[in-house]
Structure 1
């Protein structure tokens, strides 16, 4: 009779999950021993790196990621990016080793004393099988749970002595419809309201792209000739940012969003929360007289929405269904937002000039991984996302995602054969959370261009300090860090750039590298406004 381990790996093969991201611990060794030759283990030097790489890999490849973590403390190391995977709606199975069953009553060294609760509330399901022979069935249930809308991570704690026990065989095969429907009956009310509206606005979120609705969203906007906004704090766009109907990104304060939505009698939010607010900027959630519909595949998002009528449905299918239901529009298209003028080089390199050159020089089909929150406004203005699955950040706000995510994107691009160039734009502070990512990229020869914005500080926190009127807070400055030398120590090539006149050549050299390349850019350290420009729209002064 086969062992639990043998049946488990057979099940992974059937599910197409032959790649495992992890950081090996002693409690995982019984599962991984005699590792199958048709599987690939992607070693990260810290658990958080493994989780973020698996997250980005899953988002591009469309597969469920398998991340293998160490027991209690090791799983704890990965918690920040487990939260990010939850908000990113990433289908992911996290398996973690557990001590021997016969020893658990004594809580020996390395025991996860409460595996059901450790990963909560950032997983859809957390479980430790009651019997060794239940492990394959638990893995299949984890797979089904992870892929069903809204997708997300699950956590399985697997006792180390389960793997050599006998197991009768694979669970019975099942077919699961992972997506929700979007029937005409539930959307007819929305279609009628859109048809009657004089000034509608559409707000698209990352779930539109996640569910494959990029081009359906374009068709809906064009049929309506409606203004399109991006929802705040979304980790990936749901609509092309160079489209004439695109107005920019909604800001994240309640009063600022209300001001941006003035003049619209109807707002339909698709595939995003209503809304992700931060920081506190009190005000009404909508202008007086404006109606809002919320179309989401998350019952939790629907329940917590601050305003509007919610319908739980598939975002992509909802866009397609509304296109079918809507009559031809009588409206004229709004005037497109004029493009920003070309950036000029100054005495120092500004984030705006850096992003302008990256946008000018990068391949049209390149993929962006982003984690520089203090310069996000300039980035979204200068580097427009024009194709689906081409821009990735974290929905959660937890730092430590960008560097490893870039590696996961590059692995997926290689596996798919698309081989789009991955460009990681990351702040010098955020990079330190997961600096070990450089090693994995070097080991797998991933052709990522890492551009590290070196302003010697946590500038986003300085922005908060100004907004919150909290002077003299310690811990913002980051002197004495040489990121290129660190990267070279992990096996990457790299260079420095501090002069605007040298920046274009430096970016071109990095883009041409077939191996991971780290470019440290000395940028102007001026602290930006906290709630400012996101995309082509104007900046607003907000109440404190």
Structure 2
């Protein structure tokens, strides 16, 4: 009799066109091109995986922050939102640091979080998220727990559209455990325009200021590469013979660093920015805040006599720009509109960037020597995912990024992004060589990502710059009055064996401490088709 009832129910469903919520969601995700799921499941999420489609892939992370970090890298690499499944309140709590980074990275993520069954919600059940929609705020664009199970697919559709609408970012949908099996109507994906055309009057004003400038400078942020505007920005800079700087704390690079117009990287300090931009009468910030500061400063935000303009897709970023003209819009479309203007008068080239002195080998290798060697042995189209804060200024001199889509780091300052993001980027760009350049301290925030890399068999070379400390804090300490005589607590990291850790996670691993061996080991590691970790002793 039970079998007859099931058959009758299935026939009724076929006649009405209703399907289980889980099927409506997976059918919708398939239309969005989101057949890869990232997660670390718990009991309240299991209903999603009944009758899991054969064309879907589930990527398991061993901790929720690793899950979000992998999804962040994957979404950036594929230019599409990534789908994440987290466990109720605790799982979302574990992931919050990574969600904050995704928010700062402007990465589109559709996050689902489990919730207890609706029937027992009034009784504060075990694993209950009492304020599921409030928990991830303010670092999601939108969060909802649908009023009815039947509304879950529509909520996920709306979440996708909002995640993908510039400025992109994460969204969260809380789904009670019993919703996945309820019946609902299927949802069809819609085509939604995501390009924001800039205000033509304001853009014409910026174009006019650029045309008459004597010594223009561009300051490029992560949105240049994120919006696919790399080639257009190169063309605009060449047309105007503009000096090109990378904005402070940018998570992506937007210009070839071997180009004669590339001037370097701006620090996150007001006085230093003004000093470096001095002499430029027009400054155009493209896809960047104007400007991001890390330490307290004083004085003007731009050099005296300079005019500032800014084009970015984020109205919040525009709202606090202290001076100048600010325009919201797609960076790529804005630059193409500027390129459509008549050819300006000829200008002289700005002074060329002074090349870094060659780093020489020493018994305890310098970071400069390691990164210089990496630059010499890696392919130009290999992808660098970096999270080594103390090494970043050195990297900016000795490891040039030459092509679009070949550099990723976090815009948030929060550690734990780099290692799992390298896994996500490798998943999103199959066949590409991915190189994770990581500090020993930052890598430990998400070391579990090595297991996922090994299970997936991804061609990633993880380089651990082992200086046995949180070196960035040592360098930053003088800002707060520390002298060489003062004790600095909590920054030493002795006795971490990364080779043993990597092998325990299923990765190949090597250690190098001699400068003569470094080129050989790097070439061997970069030539491997499976994940490998190289622990490098540095000063």
1:495 aligns with 2:510: yes
Shift of 1:86: 0.8
Match of 1:311 among 292, 302, 327: 327
Match of 2:480 among 454, 468, 474: 468
1:388 aligns with 2:404: yes
1:477 aligns with 492
1:379 aligns with 2:391: no
Deviations 1:452-508 (CA, angstroms, capped at 9, x unpaired): 011110001111212211342311001111011001001000111111111111111
1:430 aligns with 2:455: no
1:25 aligns with 2:37: no
Shift of 1:368: 0.2
2:370 alignment partner, SS class: helix
1:194 aligns with 2:210: yes
CA distance in 1, matches of 2:356, 2:448: 37
1:248 aligns with 264
1:211 aligns with 227
Shift of 1:115: 1.2
1:101 aligns with 2:118: yes
2:74 aligns with 57
Q: With the length of structure 2 as denominator, give the TM-score of the two structures.
A: 0.95
CA distance in 2, matches of 1:55, 1:353: 30
Shift of 1:381: 1.1
Shift of 1:256: 0.9
1:177 aligns with 193
Shift of 1:265: 1.1
Shift of 1:343: 2.1
Contact 1:366–1:421 (Cα < 8 Å) also in 2: yes
CA distance in 1, matches of 2:453, 2:305: 52
CA distance in 2, matches of 1:338, 1:454: 29
Contact 1:182–1:321 (Cα < 8 Å) also in 2: no
CA distance in 2, matches of 1:128, 1:307: 40
Worse overlay, 424-433 or 495-504: 495-504
Contact 2:463–2:534 (Cα < 8 Å) also in 1: yes
CA distance in 2, matches of 1:173, 1:33: 23
Match of 2:469 among 432, 453, 457: 457
How does 1:154-303 map onto structure 2 within 5 Å? 154-170=171-187, 172-182=188-198, 184-303=200-319
Contact 1:184–1:325 (Cα < 8 Å) also in 2: no
1:340 aligns with 2:356: yes
Query: CA distance change for structure 1 residues 327 and 184 in 2, over 3 Å: closer, same or farther?
Result: farther
Query: CA distance change for structure 1 residues 309 and 185 in 2, over 3 Å: closer, same or farther?
Result: closer
1:447 aligns with 459
Contact 2:261–2:350 (Cα < 8 Å) also in 1: yes
1:307 alignment partner, SS class: coil
1:410 aligns with 2:410: no
RMSD: 1.2
Deviations 1:305-351 (CA, angstroms, capped at 9, x unpaired): 22222111111111111111243332111132242233211222100
Structure 1 residue ranges without an equivalent (≥5): 525-544
Contact 2:157–2:189 (Cα < 8 Å) also in 1: no
2:3 aligns with none
Contact 1:256–1:281 (Cα < 8 Å) also in 2: no
Shift of 1:274: 1.2
Deviations 1:9-30 (CA, angstroms, capped at 9, x unpaired): 1111111110001111111101
Over 4 Å off, 4+ runs: none
CA distance in 1, matches of 2:22, 2:433: 37
Deviations 1:187-246 (CA, angstroms, capped at 9, x unpaired): 110011111111111111110111110001001101101111110001011111111101
Contact 1:269–1:293 (Cα < 8 Å) also in 2: yes
1:13 aligns with 30
Contact 2:432–2:459 (Cα < 8 Å) also in 1: no
Query: CA distance change for structure 1 residues 326 and 430 in 2, over 3 Å: closer, same or farther?
Result: farther
Shift of 1:290: 1.2
1:92 aligns with 109
Match of 1:139 among 139, 149, 156: 156
Q: With the length of structure 1 as denominator, give the TM-score of the two structures.
A: 0.94
Worse overlay, 308-317 or 427-436: 308-317
CA distance in 1, matches of 2:76, 2:226: 8
Shift of 1:182: 3.0
CA distance in 2, matches of 1:325, 1:81: 42
Contact 2:199–2:328 (Cα < 8 Å) also in 1: no
CA distance in 2, matches of 1:479, 1:344: 26
Shift of 1:174: 2.0
Contact 1:223–1:329 (Cα < 8 Å) also in 2: no
Of structures 1 and 2, the larger Rg is shown by: 2
Match of 1:123 among 137, 140, 152: 140
Deviations 1:23-61 (CA, angstroms, capped at 9, x unpaired): 111111011222111100000000111101111111111
Worse overlay, 48-57 or 97-106: 97-106
